[in-house]
Structures are given as C-alpha cells and as structure tokens.
Structure 1
Amino acid sequence: MMEGNRVKRHYDFDWVRVLATFMVFLYHCSMFFNPFPWHIKNNELNASYILVFSLFVGAWIMPIFFSISGISVSYGLKKRSISAFIKERFIRLGIPLVFGVLILTPPQIYIERLTNNQFKGSFFAFFPHFFDGVYLDFGGTGNFAFFGLHLWYLLVLLVFSLLTIPLFKWARNPVIFKKVHFVLLPTLLILAGSLKTQNLGGWDLIFYLLIFVYGFYFFSSENFKHIVASTISLHAIVAICTTFLYIMWFMEGYPEPGTLENFIFYSVRTINCWSLLLCIFYLAEKYLSISNRFLKYGSEVSMPFYVLHQPVIILIAFLIRDVSWSIPVKLIFLISVSFTLIMLCYHFVIRHVSVLRILFGMRTMKKATVKKEAA
C-alpha cells in the first residue's frame, strides 16, 4: 500500500519473519534429538514429543519464509529499480552465502565426519579435505557443501529472485485475492508434488517457487487479509484436523512412495501447510500489526541469527552428545546456551563491525541509521 511516494510498512509481516527465525532455531535444536538424519545426533533419541514438534514446525516453517520473501519482493520492487533490486539481492543474500560456505560450513562438516567415524584428527587436518567431493546429504562422503547446509534458503531465494524478475517486471501489481483461491492455489501445490526436482527442508523446490510467487501476487494483495479474516474459522478447523491427521499418519508409518496412499498423505500435508499459513497471517495481522523496540531489534538481528544459529547449535550439541543427562535437561541446555552465545556474538560484536555486518547480510551502519531516521 502506497502512502504518497512511500510504501506502507506491514509490521505483522516483520513479526512473522522474526518469530519464524526463532522457530527455525528451535526446530534445528529438536533435530539433535529426533529420529531424522542430521549432522549430529544425541546418544538417546526421542520419537514422541520432540518428533511431534519437529513434524508440526517442519510442515510450515520454510514455506512461511518463502511466502514472506515473496511479499517482501512485492514491496521492494515498488521502492527500487530492477538493477538496484538485483544489487541488493546479491549483497544481502550472496555475500552471507559465500561467507557461510567458506567459513561456517567446514566446522559443521568436520563435526559430522567425526561423529560418523569418517575422519580422525584435528579440524586443521580436516580443512584441506573440505573440497573433496560435493556434499549431497547426511552421511555421504563429499565434504564441499556449496549451498552452505542450512543456508540453502539464501541460495534458493537468490535464484528465485533473479528467475522471477521477468515475470514480476511484466506484472508487478498483486492480483485481487478471491475466495476461489482457497481451493485453486493449494490444488496447484498438490499437483506440483508430482514434479520431483530437489527436496529441501521437507518440500520440493517447485513447491517453494509457487509459495514465493503466491507471496508476491496473492499474499501481498490488499484484500488478502480481509478475505482470510472472514473465513478464518474454516481455515482453523482444517489446520487443526490436518495437523492431527498428518502427524498421526506419519508416526503410524510413512506411505510407500508412488502409491495412492502416498499421494493422499502428501495432499493432507499440503492442505495442512496451506491452512497453517493462513492462520499465521491472520493471527499476525490481528495481534502484531504494531511496532516496538523489540521488533526493530529483532528485525535487524534476524539475518545474522539465521546465518549463525546452526553452526552454534551443532558445536554445543557436539560437546554434550555423550553426556549422561536426560533429554529434557539436554534440550533446555542446548536451547539456552546456543541462544545466549548467538545473541552475545551479535549484540557485542557483529552489529558493531561494518565488515561483519555485510558478511551477515545486514545493512551497513550508515544505511541502517538512514533507514531508522526515515521510519
């Protein structure tokens, strides 16, 4: 929405981004304890409450990032030229990605190789082997993770941003969101499930691309929130029912790929994701359409927090994996210590050093000050 020559700030979307960043942090903490493959696992796994948490959050956490990114691109292209937009994408996404691949990724691969008995020796002895083969998945033999492990989101978002420029340039304005889209858009997501490209974070790249485009054209539409609010009871019921069905079905036994049962399961999971996104957007608009000091701080810390969180989690997890504590004690310790270390690094170091601000995807101090004064 335009106010004179300025684009109105939607604080609810900012809140969603900040809270989603914290949730992905908790999700990766849970990966240390659940039965899913990951870089490092605890000496005791949990297939009950931690698995349920992982399944619930994993159903919507990365789709919400891509939908918010699509919305941000919609507003961003109203404020800057295509060339300025491309430059901003490479600086804010490309630089942290390269930094993460070269600096933050090697220690994580090293820890994975140590815990899987695939390497013995110091990190300095391992580092020359970092470029030996391409890292493709957990437990493989290649070491070079060109996508930065958890930073794959930055790579995919950068590609999506560049790939969709011709489309967004041709038709920049969001379309009118109608009730028929509640059926049409999730149906397209279900049909996209037949196109297998690359699964990342629980969903296929085509799924993320559609969600990204939805954010640009539909979720950023001015009437989107009003339509969702008028039908929220239905979405809430669907979200609750499909969440219960999806999680129980998964825990009873994942359907065999290529079967009709698997297609129905994927459909339920897709509808669950779609309904949860609508509920999240509704709750954010209803209760979080405000700005305060916490939001301003959280918005600034989101990117460096995201870039830094997994390496810190893996390091702390490595130190406690064989300690004879109960799972709840380890979980609380992992969350609290990791969060504290990340925030200390950001608050006392990263945000005060211009080079680090750029490496972690932040604006320079001068640009950040100008933006704050203009807000």
Structure 2
Amino acid sequence: MHPKERIHYLDWLRISAFALLILFHSWQPFNHFHWLIKSPYKTVLADILTVFFHTWRLYLIFFVSGVGTFLALKSRQQQFLKDRFQRLIIPFLFGIIFIIPCQYYYQKLQKQPDLLFWDFMAHYPRFIATRPYRFDLFQWLLELGIHLWYLPSLYIMTIVLYPLLKHMNASRTIHVLTQRPSLLMLFALPVMLTFMLLKPIFPEYTSVADFITYALLFVYGYVFIKEHAQALPVLHKNGLRLLVAGILSSILLIGCLLVPSLKEAAFHPAYTVNHSIVAVLLGISAFSWPLYFVNLYSRRFNFSSKLLPEFNRSVLPVYIMHQTIIVVGGYYIIALVKNGILQFILIVSLTVLLSIPFYLLVKKFRLSRFLFGIRG
C-alpha cells in the first residue's frame, strides 16, 4: 500500500472503535462488576453488554492501532519513534498527573461523601504508592493510568515489535490465504493458546497474557494494511464465517456466566478443562469480531467526508478525557436522578456534549495539542 493513500473505511472504523468506549464506559455504573462509580440501578442487561463487548472491543482497537503504526512508519520513518513517544507517552504522563486523580477522588467520594478534594490530593502520593501493583508492569500502568493504560502499552508494543515490523514479509502467507481463504481462522489459534497457557499465571485484566493477545491483533492489523490489496478479498470471502464465529462465541461466553463452574474458570482461570473451553471461546471472539467489522466497514463505509479528518484528529484527546467526564458527571447524575435509564442517557449525552467543546478548545493551542497527542 502506498503511504499517501487513504483508505477511508479504516478511518471510520478507528473512530467507531473509540466512540464505542464512550458507550461502554457509560454503562459500567449499571452492571454488577467492579468500577469507579456505581449506580444503585444495576441490570443484567449491562452485564451481558459488558461481557459481549469486552471480549473483542480492545482487540479491534489494537488491530486498528497496527494499521496506524504501518502508516506512521511509512510516512514518518525518520521521526517514527519520536512521534510515538510524543503521541503516546507525553499524554499518558500528563494524564496520570492532571486527569486521573479526579477519577480516583470521585470513586472515594461516593463512599466517603465528606471527603474534600484537597484532603484527598494531600494523601494521593501515598494512595498511589499503596495500590496493588503486583509483579506485572502492565498492572502498574493500569493502576497509574486507569483507562490510559492503553497508551504506554501501545508504545511498549511498538518498541518491542519495531525490529520485526520493519523487516516483516507476510506476502507468502497472504498468497496462501488467497488460494484457501478458510485457513484464515487458523490465526485465531495463537490467541486461544495464549489465553489457555498464560491466563492462569497472569489472570488480571491488562496483564502480560492480555498484552500478548493484544500484540497478536496489532501484528495482524499491521500485516493486513501492508498487504491490503490481497488481504481484503480474503476477509470478504470469510465475512459470513467470521460473523457466525463471533456470534456463537459471544453467545456461549455469555452462557458461561450461567454455569457456576465455567463462570469460575472465566474469572479465576486455572489449568482445567473449563478454563480451556473459556480460552477457546475468548480467542475466537477476540479474533472474529474485529476482522468481521473490518470486512463490514470496507463494504459500507469506504467514503470520505469533510468531517472525517476532524473526527480522526479528535479521537486521541477525546479518548484521554472521556472517562473523567463520565466519572465526574456520572457521580452527580447518579446522586440527583432517581431513574437508571435516565441516568445512562444523561451520562452519555453529557460526555458527548462536553467532549466536543473540549476538543475544539484543546486543538487551538500548541501546548494543549502537544499534551493531548494532536499532531501538527
């Protein structure tokens, strides 16, 4: 693929993948899982939606990130590593100092209504120092950055894989797939095996096991865009197969919540048959849904728009800020509104309405563009 060529459906897919985060994080107060703030109005529907999207949403983001890495490497090869540092690490460092403390404060405030912000901040260094970091770098990134863990994780992934990516040649593999498209599903096996072998050792969210599976989809995205002309027809021929695999794996994963032994294996993995079943389903879901949506968007969304470049530029700053808006705004909405559905609608609406002027403000100033990773 020529580095100057724009494939618009991938821009729309990137925007959609990150827009999904606003919805996903907006319903977290309403499920029965742990999160920063919680509503008294919890629903099984939010549980089902969380399980469904959580098994593939980040894999879609890392696939798209692999695509973006190829384009960045081709167009800015001399400045690539510097560009990645400025776009990923600078916003992360800024975020953990000036943005993330608000989320932790409102988490505490919901349980301690009399807690003053400056009292909390006075003890914040000790609060951060005593988080359950464990011996896992990626758990440190999660505890320090909450949702911003993605930024340094992507940076580490890029640096580690950089020597491989520069010299990777997958044209023969893609050629084989053009002859036998059904073999595409075999590429779900590394994801399954990683879950199966490493999740019992690294069971936590965003742990080493998750990082490796994210890296696999990242590499798949990189290879896909590099061999786009040959790879896209392979996806088109597998569209129905990917959709069926995604639907079946998602239904079965949601069903696992109804079987105590499988639910235990999902949340507390060990080397058991039940864990192997869950690992296979997770691998299929993590692989099938992202590739299905690439196939879908390539057919339906390969067009440009005057707003597309602006939407694309807004992704990173809105991603950085959206969860803080959800947590802070959600705290007051949950306290004041006594209807769960209305709470959710207001949280989503507030997040979208505040994200727009926030981005328009950030892009006006050179310093804020630098701190929020906006290029140019």
TM-score, structure 2 normalization: 0.87
Residue type of the alignment partner of 1:228: L
| Contact preservation (8 Å) 2:142, 2:148 | no
In structure 1, distance between residues paired with 2:30 and 2:342? 12
Which has the larger displacement, 219-228 or 286-295? 219-228
Could you say if the C-alpha distance between residues 63 and 174 of structure 1 is closer, same or farther in structure 2, counting changes exceeding 3 Å? farther
Q: Distance in 1 between matches of 2:313 and 2:171?
A: 27
Structure 2 equivalent of residue 355 of structure 1: 367
Matched, 1:334 2:321: no
Partner of 2:215: 209
Cα distance per residue 1:259-315 (max 9 Å; x no partner): 211210221122122111121000110011111023222101111110000000000
Identify the residue that residue 255 of structure 2 maps to in structure 1. 248
Please name the residue that 2:115 is paired with: 121
Residue 80 in 1 paired to residue 92 in 2? Answer: no
Indicate whether 1:7 and 2:4 are aligned.
yes
Q: Where does the alignment leave 5 or more consecutive residues of structure 2 unmatched? A: 134-139
Structure 2 counterpart of 1:367: none
- What amino acid is aligned across from residue 79 of structure 1 in structure 2? S
- Percent identical pairs in the alignment equals 25
Task: Check conservation: 2:191, 2:287, Cα contact below 8 A.
Answer: no
Name the SS for the 1:7 alignment partner: coil
- For 1:125-154, what per-residue CA distance to the aligned partner results, in whole angstroms no more than 9, with x for missing partners? 2112221114348xxxxx997641100000
Instruction: State the one-letter code of the partner of 2:194.
Output: A
Cα RMSD between the aligned structures? 2.4
Match of 1:234 in 2: 241
2:125 equivalent to 1:131 = yes
Contact 1:15/1:288, CA 8 A, preserved across alignment: yes
Shift of 1:228: 1.1
d(CA) in 2 for partners of 1:246, 1:97: 33
Between Structure 1 and Structure 2, the one with more helix by share is: 2
How many aligned residue pairs are there? 353
How far did 1:174 drift? 6.0
Instruction: Measure the CA separation in 2 of the matches of 1:144 and 1:180.
Output: 38
Q: How far does the alpha carbon of each residue in 1:322-350 deviate from its partner, in whole angstroms, 9 at most, with x for none?
A: 33522111111111012111112222x11
Q: Residues 198 and 205 of structure 1 are in contact (CA less than 8 Å); yes or no, is this contact kept in structure 2?
A: no
How many Å apart are 1:156 and its aligned residue? 0.1
Query: Are 2:328 and 1:315 equivalent residues in the alignment?
Result: yes
SS of corresponding position for 1:41: coil
Is 1:29 the counterpart of 2:35? The answer is no
Shift of 1:101: 0.4
Q: Which residue of 2 aligns with 1:93?
A: 88
| One-letter amino acid matched to 1:104 | I
Aligned to 1:161: 158
2:275 aligned to 259, 262, 267, which one?
A: 262
Distance 1:171 1:269 in 2: 27
Asked if the contact 2:182/2:238 (under 8 Å) is kept, the reply is no
Measured against aligned partners, the alpha-carbon deviations of 1:228-274 in whole angstroms (never above 9, x if no partner) come to: 11121222222222222221222444143222112102211221221
| Match 1:200 to one of 178, 182, 205 | 205
What whole-Å deviation, never above 9, does each CA across 1:102-134 have from its counterpart, x for those lacking one? 0001111111122234x9531112112221114
Cα distance in structure 2, aligned partners of 1:103 and 1:275: 37
Question: 1: CA distance between counterparts of 2:61 and 2:355?
Answer: 20
Distance 1:346 1:59, change over 3 A: same
2-structure distance, mates of 1:93, 1:175: 33
Name the residue aligned to 1:148.
145
Q: Say whether 1:221 aligns with 2:224.
A: no
Q: Is the 8 A contact 2:89 2:151 kept in 1?
A: yes
Q: What corresponds to 2:299 in structure 1?
A: 286
Between the aligned partners of 1:330 and 1:288, the Cα distance in structure 2 is 32
Match of 1:187 in 2: 189
Deviates more, 1:202-211 or 1:258-267: 202-211
Residue identity opposite 1:363 in structure 2: R
* CA distance in 1: counterparts of 2:96 and 2:172, whole angstroms: 38
Q: Is the 8 A contact 2:193 2:279 kept in 1?
A: no
Alpha-carbon contact 1:176-1:221 (below 8 Å) kept: no
For 2:137, the equivalent position in structure 1 comes to none
Give the letter aligned to residue 127 of structure 1: M
Aligned to 1:373: none
Mapped partners of 2:314, 2:306: distance in 1: 12
Q: What is the alpha-carbon distance in structure 2 between the residues aligned to residue 201 and residue 164 of structure 1?
A: 18
Q: 1:15 to 1:158 in 2, by over 3 A?
A: same
Q: Does 1:43 align with 2:40?
A: yes
Q: Which residue of 1 aligns with 2:14?
A: 17
What is the distance in 1 between the residues matched to 2:148 and 2:142?
10
